[in-house]
Structure 1
Amino acid sequence: MSSTSNNLPALPQADISIRTSIAWHPDPPSEPTSTLVLTSPGKHFVDIRLLLPIDPSGILTPDRLDWAFAGTSTTNPLPVSLPILTPQPQPQPDTTPRLVASKWSHWVDTRHPDAEIVVDTAQMRIYPDGRSVEVGSMVNPATGVLTPYEEIWQEGEVDPDEGGMVLQTDDQQGGRRRRGMVVRVGRHIQGILRVGEGVGVQRWERSGEHEDGGWEVVAGTGAAAEEEVGDLVGAMEFVARGGGEKVHAGEMILGPERAWRVVEVWGRGG
Protein backbone atom coordinates (compact mmCIF):
# COMPACT_ATOMS: atom_id res chain seq x y z
CA MET A 1 0.00 0.00 0.00
CA SER A 2 1.45 3.34 -1.03
CA SER A 3 0.74 6.80 0.31
CA THR A 4 1.71 10.37 -0.46
CA SER A 5 2.74 13.11 1.93
CA ASN A 6 -0.69 14.69 1.44
CA ASN A 7 -2.27 11.69 3.13
CA LEU A 8 0.01 11.66 6.15
CA PRO A 9 -1.03 13.38 9.37
CA ALA A 10 0.86 16.56 10.14
CA LEU A 11 3.68 16.03 12.62
CA PRO A 12 3.68 18.19 15.76
CA GLN A 13 5.93 21.21 15.36
CA ALA A 14 7.62 23.66 17.67
CA ASP A 15 6.02 27.07 18.02
CA ILE A 16 7.00 30.63 18.90
CA SER A 17 4.26 33.01 20.05
CA ILE A 18 4.68 36.76 20.62
CA ARG A 19 1.95 38.70 22.36
CA THR A 20 1.17 42.04 20.73
CA SER A 21 -1.59 43.32 23.03
CA ILE A 22 -3.82 42.58 26.01
CA ALA A 23 -7.19 44.20 26.81
CA TRP A 24 -8.85 43.95 30.21
CA HIS A 25 -12.55 44.55 29.66
CA PRO A 26 -13.69 47.33 29.30
CA ASP A 27 -10.27 49.00 28.90
CA PRO A 28 -8.62 49.43 25.47
CA PRO A 29 -5.77 47.12 24.40
CA SER A 30 -2.15 47.86 25.29
CA GLU A 31 1.13 45.98 25.57
CA PRO A 32 3.18 46.77 28.67
CA THR A 33 5.40 43.69 28.31
CA SER A 34 7.67 41.70 26.06
CA THR A 35 5.87 38.36 26.19
CA LEU A 36 7.37 35.35 24.43
CA VAL A 37 6.18 31.74 24.57
CA LEU A 38 8.32 28.85 23.31
CA THR A 39 6.47 25.57 22.80
CA SER A 40 8.04 22.23 21.86
CA PRO A 41 6.53 19.62 19.51
CA GLY A 42 5.50 17.69 22.64
CA LYS A 43 3.70 20.82 23.96
CA HIS A 44 6.11 21.71 26.75
CA PHE A 45 6.26 25.49 27.01
CA VAL A 46 8.01 28.35 28.79
CA ASP A 47 6.12 31.68 28.89
CA ILE A 48 8.10 34.74 30.07
CA ARG A 49 6.59 38.23 30.36
CA LEU A 50 9.05 41.08 30.93
CA LEU A 51 7.91 44.62 31.70
CA LEU A 52 9.02 47.18 29.13
CA PRO A 53 11.51 48.64 28.64
CA ILE A 54 13.97 45.76 29.02
CA ASP A 55 17.30 46.75 30.57
CA PRO A 56 19.88 46.67 27.72
CA SER A 57 22.41 45.19 30.17
CA GLY A 58 20.31 42.00 30.31
CA ILE A 59 19.94 42.20 34.10
CA LEU A 60 16.43 41.24 35.20
CA THR A 61 15.37 42.60 38.60
CA PRO A 62 12.25 41.29 40.36
CA ASP A 63 10.31 44.51 39.74
CA ARG A 64 10.78 44.13 35.94
CA LEU A 65 9.44 40.57 35.78
CA ASP A 66 5.70 40.57 35.18
CA TRP A 67 5.22 36.79 35.17
CA ALA A 68 6.92 33.60 34.06
CA PHE A 69 5.61 30.05 34.05
CA ALA A 70 6.17 26.72 32.35
CA GLY A 71 4.30 23.48 31.86
CA THR A 72 2.36 21.68 29.13
CA SER A 73 -0.46 22.79 26.85
CA THR A 74 -3.35 21.15 25.00
CA THR A 75 -5.74 22.35 22.30
CA ASN A 76 -9.05 20.97 21.07
CA PRO A 77 -11.17 22.18 18.13
CA LEU A 78 -14.34 24.15 18.80
CA PRO A 79 -17.44 24.28 16.59
CA VAL A 80 -18.73 27.59 17.97
CA SER A 81 -17.86 31.25 17.44
CA LEU A 82 -16.05 33.17 20.13
CA PRO A 83 -16.93 36.55 21.62
CA ILE A 84 -14.67 39.43 20.63
CA LEU A 85 -14.00 42.33 23.01
CA THR A 86 -12.35 44.59 20.42
CA PRO A 87 -13.27 45.02 16.74
CA GLN A 88 -11.60 42.62 14.30
CA PRO A 89 -11.59 42.63 10.48
CA GLN A 90 -14.32 40.51 8.94
CA PRO A 91 -12.74 37.27 7.66
CA GLN A 92 -12.58 36.64 3.94
CA PRO A 93 -13.08 33.10 2.58
CA ASP A 94 -9.33 32.39 2.60
CA THR A 95 -8.80 33.90 6.07
CA THR A 96 -11.38 31.96 8.07
CA PRO A 97 -9.92 31.21 11.51
CA ARG A 98 -9.73 27.90 13.33
CA LEU A 99 -11.53 27.88 16.67
CA VAL A 100 -9.89 25.98 19.53
CA ALA A 101 -10.12 25.57 23.29
CA SER A 102 -6.68 25.79 24.89
CA LYS A 103 -5.43 24.77 28.31
CA TRP A 104 -2.06 25.53 29.87
CA SER A 105 -1.17 23.30 32.82
CA HIS A 106 1.33 25.22 34.97
CA TRP A 107 4.17 23.15 36.41
CA VAL A 108 6.46 25.91 37.70
CA ASP A 109 5.30 29.50 38.20
CA THR A 110 6.95 32.67 39.53
CA ARG A 111 3.70 33.89 41.11
CA HIS A 112 2.49 30.62 42.60
CA PRO A 113 4.68 28.18 44.58
CA ASP A 114 1.96 25.55 44.05
CA ALA A 115 1.79 25.98 40.30
CA GLU A 116 -0.67 23.15 39.67
CA ILE A 117 -3.48 25.07 41.38
CA VAL A 118 -3.53 27.63 38.54
CA VAL A 119 -6.51 27.15 36.19
CA ASP A 120 -5.43 28.56 32.82
CA THR A 121 -7.92 28.00 29.99
CA ALA A 122 -9.08 30.12 27.07
CA GLN A 123 -10.71 30.00 23.68
CA MET A 124 -8.75 31.03 20.62
CA ARG A 125 -9.41 32.14 17.08
CA ILE A 126 -6.34 31.20 14.98
CA TYR A 127 -5.96 32.92 11.60
CA PRO A 128 -3.97 31.60 8.61
CA ASP A 129 -1.65 34.64 8.71
CA GLY A 130 -0.27 33.54 12.10
CA ARG A 131 -2.36 35.91 14.20
CA SER A 132 -4.41 34.54 17.12
CA VAL A 133 -7.09 36.11 19.28
CA GLU A 134 -7.34 34.63 22.79
CA VAL A 135 -10.35 35.33 25.02
CA GLY A 136 -10.97 34.21 28.58
CA SER A 137 -11.13 35.42 32.17
CA MET A 138 -8.38 35.67 34.77
CA VAL A 139 -7.46 37.80 37.75
CA ASN A 140 -6.31 41.25 36.68
CA PRO A 141 -3.14 41.83 38.76
CA ALA A 142 -3.90 45.57 38.87
CA THR A 143 -7.30 45.04 40.54
CA GLY A 144 -7.24 41.54 42.01
CA VAL A 145 -10.61 40.91 40.35
CA LEU A 146 -11.50 38.11 37.91
CA THR A 147 -11.91 40.00 34.62
CA PRO A 148 -12.62 39.11 30.96
CA TYR A 149 -9.55 39.67 28.81
CA GLU A 150 -8.48 39.48 25.19
CA GLU A 151 -4.93 38.88 24.01
CA ILE A 152 -3.61 39.19 20.46
CA TRP A 153 -0.73 36.89 19.54
CA GLN A 154 1.51 36.69 16.49
CA GLU A 155 3.27 33.52 15.42
CA GLY A 156 7.05 33.88 15.34
CA GLU A 157 9.27 32.44 12.64
CA VAL A 158 10.60 28.94 13.30
CA ASP A 159 13.50 27.99 11.03
CA PRO A 160 12.78 24.44 9.77
CA ASP A 161 16.53 23.76 9.73
CA GLU A 162 16.86 24.57 13.43
CA GLY A 163 16.27 22.05 16.19
CA GLY A 164 15.40 22.31 19.84
CA MET A 165 15.37 20.70 23.24
CA VAL A 166 13.46 20.55 26.52
CA LEU A 167 15.13 20.03 29.92
CA GLN A 168 13.30 19.52 33.20
CA THR A 169 14.35 19.16 36.84
CA ASP A 170 12.20 18.11 39.81
CA ASP A 171 13.73 17.20 43.17
CA GLN A 172 14.46 18.42 46.69
CA GLN A 173 17.26 20.83 47.56
CA GLY A 174 17.93 21.52 51.24
CA GLY A 175 14.42 20.41 52.15
CA ARG A 176 12.83 22.68 49.55
CA ARG A 177 11.04 21.72 46.34
CA ARG A 178 13.14 22.37 43.25
CA ARG A 179 11.47 22.59 39.85
CA GLY A 180 12.65 23.98 36.55
CA MET A 181 12.21 23.82 32.80
CA VAL A 182 14.25 25.05 29.84
CA VAL A 183 12.90 25.13 26.28
CA ARG A 184 14.86 25.97 23.17
CA VAL A 185 13.17 26.58 19.84
CA GLY A 186 15.79 27.45 17.22
CA ARG A 187 17.39 30.78 18.06
CA HIS A 188 15.44 31.29 21.28
CA ILE A 189 15.89 29.75 24.75
CA GLN A 190 13.86 30.42 27.87
CA GLY A 191 14.18 28.88 31.31
CA ILE A 192 12.63 29.03 34.79
CA LEU A 193 13.94 27.42 37.98
CA ARG A 194 12.23 27.67 41.35
CA VAL A 195 13.82 26.51 44.62
CA GLY A 196 11.41 27.19 47.47
CA GLU A 197 10.77 30.93 47.29
CA GLY A 198 13.84 31.59 45.14
CA VAL A 199 13.19 32.02 41.43
CA GLY A 200 15.52 32.25 38.45
CA VAL A 201 14.42 33.34 34.98
CA GLN A 202 16.46 33.51 31.75
CA ARG A 203 15.73 34.53 28.16
CA TRP A 204 18.46 34.13 25.55
CA GLU A 205 18.53 34.78 21.80
CA ARG A 206 21.09 33.94 19.14
CA SER A 207 21.74 36.76 16.72
CA GLY A 208 24.81 35.36 14.96
CA GLU A 209 24.79 33.10 11.94
CA HIS A 210 27.04 30.43 13.44
CA GLU A 211 25.72 27.46 15.39
CA ASP A 212 28.34 27.68 18.15
CA GLY A 213 28.10 31.37 19.00
CA GLY A 214 26.17 34.58 18.98
CA TRP A 215 24.01 33.98 22.07
CA GLU A 216 22.82 37.09 23.90
CA VAL A 217 21.27 37.22 27.38
CA VAL A 218 18.17 39.30 26.73
CA ALA A 219 17.16 39.12 30.39
CA GLY A 220 18.37 37.10 33.35
CA THR A 221 18.01 37.26 37.11
CA GLY A 222 20.95 38.72 39.01
CA ALA A 223 23.58 37.29 41.32
CA ALA A 224 21.43 37.24 44.47
CA ALA A 225 18.85 34.95 42.92
CA GLU A 226 21.49 32.86 41.18
CA GLU A 227 22.93 31.72 44.52
CA GLU A 228 19.90 29.47 44.90
CA VAL A 229 19.08 28.72 41.28
CA GLY A 230 22.48 29.11 39.67
CA ASP A 231 22.44 25.87 37.70
CA LEU A 232 19.68 27.32 35.51
CA VAL A 233 22.46 29.07 33.60
CA GLY A 234 24.26 25.74 33.21
CA ALA A 235 21.11 24.19 31.77
CA MET A 236 20.71 27.14 29.39
CA GLU A 237 24.33 26.75 28.25
CA PHE A 238 23.87 23.01 27.67
CA VAL A 239 20.83 23.66 25.48
CA ALA A 240 22.57 26.54 23.67
CA ARG A 241 25.35 24.13 22.66
CA GLY A 242 22.81 21.65 21.37
CA GLY A 243 23.59 19.22 24.19
CA GLY A 244 26.28 17.46 22.20
CA GLU A 245 25.84 15.10 19.28
CA LYS A 246 24.50 12.06 21.13
CA VAL A 247 22.05 13.45 23.67
CA HIS A 248 18.76 11.53 23.83
CA ALA A 249 15.41 12.01 25.50
CA GLY A 250 15.38 10.43 28.95
CA GLU A 251 19.05 11.10 29.77
CA MET A 252 19.95 12.65 33.13
CA ILE A 253 22.57 15.36 32.69
CA LEU A 254 24.59 18.22 34.24
CA GLY A 255 26.85 17.91 37.25
CA PRO A 256 27.47 15.04 39.66
CA GLU A 257 23.82 15.08 40.75
CA ARG A 258 22.55 14.65 37.17
CA ALA A 259 19.54 16.70 38.24
CA TRP A 260 18.26 17.71 34.79
CA ARG A 261 16.43 15.31 32.47
CA VAL A 262 16.30 15.62 28.68
CA VAL A 263 12.56 15.51 27.99
CA GLU A 264 12.59 16.23 24.26
CA VAL A 265 15.17 16.73 21.55
CA TRP A 266 14.42 17.28 17.87
CA GLY A 267 16.06 18.42 14.67
CA ARG A 268 19.73 19.04 15.30
CA GLY A 269 19.11 19.14 19.04
CA GLY A 270 19.36 22.90 18.76
Structure 2
Amino acid sequence: MMSYDISTRVSLRWLPDPPSEPSDVLVYNVGHYFLDLRVLKADRSIQWAMAGEKQIISTEPLKCRWLKIIDSFGASEPDEASFTTLPNGDELETGSMPCPERGGAATKYEEVWRNLNPREGVEHAWILQSVDGNIFLGRIGGGYMALREGKREGFGARREEWDIANGWNVKYEIGSVNGVPSFAAHGKIMFDKEESWKVGNIITISGNEYIVRAWEDM
Protein backbone atom coordinates (compact mmCIF):
# COMPACT_ATOMS: atom_id res chain seq x y z
CA MET A 1 0.00 0.00 0.00
CA MET A 2 1.36 3.43 -0.95
CA SER A 3 2.01 5.70 2.01
CA TYR A 4 2.31 8.84 -0.09
CA ASP A 5 -0.12 10.77 -2.27
CA ILE A 6 -0.76 14.13 -3.88
CA SER A 7 -4.21 15.68 -4.02
CA THR A 8 -5.81 18.85 -5.31
CA ARG A 9 -9.12 20.36 -4.29
CA VAL A 10 -11.82 20.47 -6.95
CA SER A 11 -14.33 22.55 -5.00
CA LEU A 12 -15.20 24.03 -1.60
CA ARG A 13 -18.74 24.50 -0.37
CA TRP A 14 -19.75 26.36 2.80
CA LEU A 15 -23.27 25.06 3.44
CA PRO A 16 -25.82 26.03 2.25
CA ASP A 17 -23.96 28.10 -0.42
CA PRO A 18 -23.10 26.58 -3.81
CA PRO A 19 -19.58 25.14 -4.36
CA SER A 20 -16.72 27.20 -5.79
CA GLU A 21 -12.94 27.04 -6.02
CA PRO A 22 -11.12 30.31 -5.33
CA SER A 23 -7.74 28.70 -4.67
CA ASP A 24 -5.07 26.55 -6.28
CA VAL A 25 -4.72 23.82 -3.64
CA LEU A 26 -2.07 21.12 -3.41
CA VAL A 27 -1.55 18.65 -0.55
CA TYR A 28 1.35 16.25 -0.01
CA ASN A 29 0.92 13.26 2.30
CA VAL A 30 3.94 11.09 3.09
CA GLY A 31 3.76 8.59 5.92
CA HIS A 32 2.01 10.30 8.83
CA TYR A 33 2.89 13.88 7.79
CA PHE A 34 1.38 16.41 5.41
CA LEU A 35 1.95 19.78 3.73
CA ASP A 36 -1.05 21.77 2.49
CA LEU A 37 -0.72 24.97 0.41
CA ARG A 38 -3.75 26.96 -0.79
CA VAL A 39 -2.99 29.94 -3.04
CA LEU A 40 -5.71 32.41 -4.04
CA LYS A 41 -6.11 32.48 -7.81
CA ALA A 42 -7.07 36.16 -7.80
CA ASP A 43 -3.79 37.57 -6.43
CA ARG A 44 -1.48 34.56 -5.84
CA SER A 45 -1.41 35.17 -2.09
CA ILE A 46 -1.54 32.46 0.57
CA GLN A 47 -5.16 31.76 1.42
CA TRP A 48 -4.13 29.06 3.92
CA ALA A 49 -1.02 26.97 4.47
CA MET A 50 -0.24 24.36 7.10
CA ALA A 51 1.86 21.31 7.83
CA GLY A 52 1.97 18.67 10.53
CA GLU A 53 0.75 15.17 11.37
CA LYS A 54 -2.18 13.30 9.85
CA GLN A 55 -3.93 10.65 11.93
CA ILE A 56 -6.44 8.04 10.77
CA ILE A 57 -9.22 7.88 13.36
CA SER A 58 -11.25 5.20 11.58
CA THR A 59 -11.31 3.43 8.22
CA GLU A 60 -15.00 2.45 7.90
CA PRO A 61 -15.99 5.18 7.34
CA LEU A 62 -12.69 6.96 6.73
CA LYS A 63 -12.18 9.73 9.29
CA CYS A 64 -8.98 11.75 9.70
CA ARG A 65 -7.48 14.22 12.15
CA TRP A 66 -4.85 16.86 11.27
CA LEU A 67 -2.48 18.17 13.94
CA LYS A 68 -1.16 21.47 12.57
CA ILE A 69 2.39 22.14 13.73
CA ILE A 70 2.64 25.29 11.60
CA ASP A 71 -0.44 27.16 10.37
CA SER A 72 -0.71 30.47 8.51
CA PHE A 73 -3.91 31.19 10.48
CA GLY A 74 -2.04 30.81 13.77
CA ALA A 75 -2.36 28.18 16.50
CA SER A 76 -5.60 26.22 16.41
CA GLU A 77 -7.23 23.00 17.53
CA PRO A 78 -6.83 19.85 15.38
CA ASP A 79 -9.23 19.46 12.46
CA GLU A 80 -11.30 16.35 11.89
CA ALA A 81 -13.31 15.28 8.84
CA SER A 82 -14.94 12.27 7.20
CA PHE A 83 -14.47 11.04 3.64
CA THR A 84 -16.63 9.16 1.15
CA THR A 85 -15.67 8.09 -2.36
CA LEU A 86 -17.73 9.60 -5.17
CA PRO A 87 -18.74 7.61 -8.30
CA ASN A 88 -15.97 9.25 -10.38
CA GLY A 89 -13.27 8.32 -7.84
CA ASP A 90 -12.95 11.75 -6.20
CA GLU A 91 -13.20 12.03 -2.42
CA LEU A 92 -15.89 14.07 -0.64
CA GLU A 93 -14.67 15.54 2.65
CA THR A 94 -17.30 16.71 5.14
CA GLY A 95 -16.90 18.43 8.48
CA SER A 96 -17.15 21.76 10.27
CA MET A 97 -14.52 24.50 10.61
CA PRO A 98 -14.27 28.29 11.03
CA CYS A 99 -15.38 30.16 7.91
CA PRO A 100 -13.37 33.37 7.28
CA GLU A 101 -16.19 34.84 5.18
CA ARG A 102 -18.56 34.44 8.14
CA GLY A 103 -16.40 36.02 10.79
CA GLY A 104 -14.76 32.77 11.79
CA ALA A 105 -18.04 31.09 12.77
CA ALA A 106 -17.97 27.29 12.79
CA THR A 107 -19.64 26.22 9.54
CA LYS A 108 -20.38 22.89 7.90
CA TYR A 109 -18.46 22.42 4.67
CA GLU A 110 -17.94 20.03 1.77
CA GLU A 111 -14.66 19.71 -0.13
CA VAL A 112 -14.12 17.54 -3.20
CA TRP A 113 -10.57 16.19 -3.59
CA ARG A 114 -8.85 14.50 -6.54
CA ASN A 115 -5.67 12.43 -6.40
CA LEU A 116 -2.89 13.38 -8.82
CA ASN A 117 -0.09 11.32 -10.30
CA PRO A 118 3.38 12.44 -9.19
CA ARG A 119 5.35 14.50 -11.68
CA GLU A 120 8.24 12.64 -13.30
CA GLY A 121 11.41 12.87 -11.24
CA VAL A 122 13.47 10.80 -8.79
CA GLU A 123 11.53 7.97 -7.19
CA HIS A 124 11.52 9.40 -3.68
CA ALA A 125 8.86 10.94 -1.43
CA TRP A 126 9.79 12.66 1.81
CA ILE A 127 8.88 15.31 4.38
CA LEU A 128 11.45 17.13 6.54
CA GLN A 129 10.92 19.41 9.55
CA SER A 130 13.50 21.90 10.75
CA VAL A 131 14.86 21.20 14.22
CA ASP A 132 13.41 24.53 15.41
CA GLY A 133 10.01 23.35 14.12
CA ASN A 134 9.27 26.32 11.86
CA ILE A 135 10.01 24.93 8.37
CA PHE A 136 8.56 21.93 6.54
CA LEU A 137 9.96 20.66 3.23
CA GLY A 138 8.27 18.04 1.08
CA ARG A 139 9.08 16.23 -2.13
CA ILE A 140 7.12 13.67 -4.13
CA GLY A 141 8.87 12.76 -7.39
CA GLY A 142 9.23 15.88 -9.51
CA GLY A 143 7.26 18.14 -7.17
CA TYR A 144 8.52 20.15 -4.20
CA MET A 145 6.84 22.26 -1.53
CA ALA A 146 8.29 24.27 1.36
CA LEU A 147 6.40 26.13 4.11
CA ARG A 148 7.92 28.47 6.69
CA GLU A 149 6.30 30.06 9.73
CA GLY A 150 8.40 33.11 10.59
CA LYS A 151 8.13 34.49 14.10
CA ARG A 152 8.54 38.06 12.87
CA GLU A 153 8.44 37.85 9.08
CA GLY A 154 5.16 35.98 8.75
CA PHE A 155 4.40 32.94 6.62
CA GLY A 156 6.22 31.96 3.42
CA ALA A 157 5.81 29.23 0.81
CA ARG A 158 7.58 27.74 -2.18
CA ARG A 159 6.13 25.36 -4.74
CA GLU A 160 8.41 24.06 -7.48
CA GLU A 161 7.97 21.59 -10.35
CA TRP A 162 10.38 19.57 -12.48
CA ASP A 163 10.14 19.02 -16.21
CA ILE A 164 12.60 17.31 -18.52
CA ALA A 165 13.06 20.28 -20.86
CA ASN A 166 13.68 23.04 -18.32
CA GLY A 167 14.55 21.37 -15.02
CA TRP A 168 13.09 22.87 -11.83
CA ASN A 169 10.63 25.75 -12.24
CA VAL A 170 9.19 28.00 -9.54
CA LYS A 171 5.39 27.77 -9.48
CA TYR A 172 4.98 29.95 -6.37
CA GLU A 173 7.38 31.93 -4.21
CA ILE A 174 5.29 33.80 -1.65
CA GLY A 175 6.05 35.72 1.52
CA SER A 176 9.06 35.16 3.74
CA VAL A 177 11.16 32.51 1.98
CA ASN A 178 14.70 33.79 2.65
CA GLY A 179 16.79 30.82 3.70
CA VAL A 180 14.16 28.28 2.67
CA PRO A 181 15.82 25.63 0.47
CA SER A 182 14.94 25.69 -3.23
CA PHE A 183 15.43 22.97 -5.83
CA ALA A 184 15.23 25.58 -8.59
CA ALA A 185 18.14 27.53 -7.05
CA HIS A 186 20.57 24.81 -5.96
CA GLY A 187 18.74 21.59 -5.19
CA LYS A 188 21.42 19.31 -6.66
CA ILE A 189 23.89 20.49 -4.05
CA MET A 190 21.54 20.55 -1.07
CA PHE A 191 19.65 17.30 -1.64
CA ASP A 192 22.32 15.12 -3.26
CA LYS A 193 22.18 12.36 -0.61
CA GLU A 194 18.43 12.03 -0.19
CA GLU A 195 18.41 8.38 -1.30
CA SER A 196 20.26 7.47 1.92
CA TRP A 197 17.97 9.28 4.36
CA LYS A 198 16.12 7.33 7.05
CA VAL A 199 13.15 8.42 9.16
CA GLY A 200 14.49 10.10 12.29
CA ASN A 201 17.81 11.14 10.74
CA ILE A 202 18.97 14.70 11.36
CA ILE A 203 20.46 16.17 8.20
CA THR A 204 22.00 19.54 7.40
CA ILE A 205 20.78 21.64 4.46
CA SER A 206 22.21 25.12 3.85
CA GLY A 207 23.56 25.22 7.39
CA ASN A 208 20.23 24.33 9.04
CA GLU A 209 19.30 21.02 10.64
CA TYR A 210 16.20 19.08 9.60
CA ILE A 211 14.57 15.91 10.94
CA VAL A 212 13.45 13.33 8.37
CA ARG A 213 9.82 12.88 9.37
CA ALA A 214 8.80 10.62 6.46
CA TRP A 215 10.64 8.92 3.58
CA GLU A 216 9.27 6.53 0.96
CA ASP A 217 10.79 4.78 -2.06
CA MET A 218 8.31 5.26 -4.90
| Alpha-carbon separation, structure 2, partners of 1:17 and 1:151 | 12
Trace 1:139-218 onto structure 2 (pairs within 5 A): 139-144=98-103, 145-158=105-118, 162-171=123-132, 179-198=134-153, 199-208=155-164, 214-218=167-171
| Alpha-carbon separation, structure 2, partners of 1:72 and 1:239 | 25
SS of the equivalent of 2:192 reads coil
Q: Does 1:136 align with 2:126?
A: no
Where does structure 1 lack aligned partners over 5 or more consecutive residues?
1-9, 55-59, 80-98, 172-177
Q: Which amino acid aligns with 1:163?
A: H
SS of the equivalent of 2:145 reads strand
Indicate how the Cα distance of structure 1 residues 68 and 137 shifts in structure 2: closer, same or farther if over 3 A, else same.
Answer: same
Q: Does 1:102 align with 2:64?
A: yes
TM-score (norm 1): 0.70
Q: 1:14 aligns with which of 4, 29, 40?
A: 4
| Alpha-carbon separation, structure 2, partners of 1:241 and 1:206 | 16
| Alpha-carbon separation, structure 2, partners of 1:140 and 1:71 | 21
Q: 2:35 aligns with which of 26, 41, 46?
A: 46
Q: Find the structure with the greater CA-based Rg.
A: 1
Higher helix share: 1
Partner of 1:66: 47
Deviations 1:190-249 (A, max 9, x none): 11111214222111111226xxx6211111125xx34xxx22135886767782245422
Q: Tell me, yes or no, if the aligned pair for 2:9 and 2:113 is still in contact at 8 Å.
A: yes
Deviations 1:123-174 (A, max 9, x none): 1113585410000001111112111000000011136972122221132xxx
Indicate how the Cα distance of structure 1 residues 14 and 28 shifts in structure 2: closer, same or farther if over 3 A, else same.
Answer: same
Number of equivalenced pairs: 212
Q: Tell me, yes or no, if the aligned pair for 2:118 and 2:143 is still in contact at 8 Å.
A: no
Q: Tell me, yes or no, if the aligned pair for 1:166 and 1:183 is still in contact at 8 Å.
A: yes
Deviations 1:90-131 (A, max 9, x none): xxxxxxxxx30111110111110x3xx332100111358541
Q: Does 1:233 align with 2:181?
A: yes
Q: 2:82 aligns with which of 119, 123, 127?
A: 123
Q: Does 1:264 align with 2:217?
A: no
| Alpha-carbon separation, structure 2, partners of 1:162 and 1:16 | 14
SS of the equivalent of 2:181 reads helix
| Alpha-carbon separation, structure 1, partners of 2:150 and 2:50 | 14
| Alpha-carbon separation, structure 2, partners of 1:73 and 1:239 | 27
Where does structure 2 lack aligned partners over 5 or more consecutive residues?
none
TM-score (norm 2): 0.85
Indicate how the Cα distance of structure 1 residues 73 and 181 shifts in structure 2: closer, same or farther if over 3 A, else same.
Answer: same
Deviations 1:248-269 (A, max 9, x none): 220321234x42233333327x
Partner of 2:205: 254
Indicate how the Cα distance of structure 1 residues 73 and 236 shifts in structure 2: closer, same or farther if over 3 A, else same.
Answer: farther
| Alpha-carbon separation, structure 2, partners of 1:70 and 1:202 | 13
Percent identity (aligned)? 26
Q: Which amino acid aligns with 1:74?
A: Q
Trace 1:20-39 onto structure 2 (pairs within 5 A): 20-39=10-29
Q: Which amino acid aligns with 1:189?
A: Y
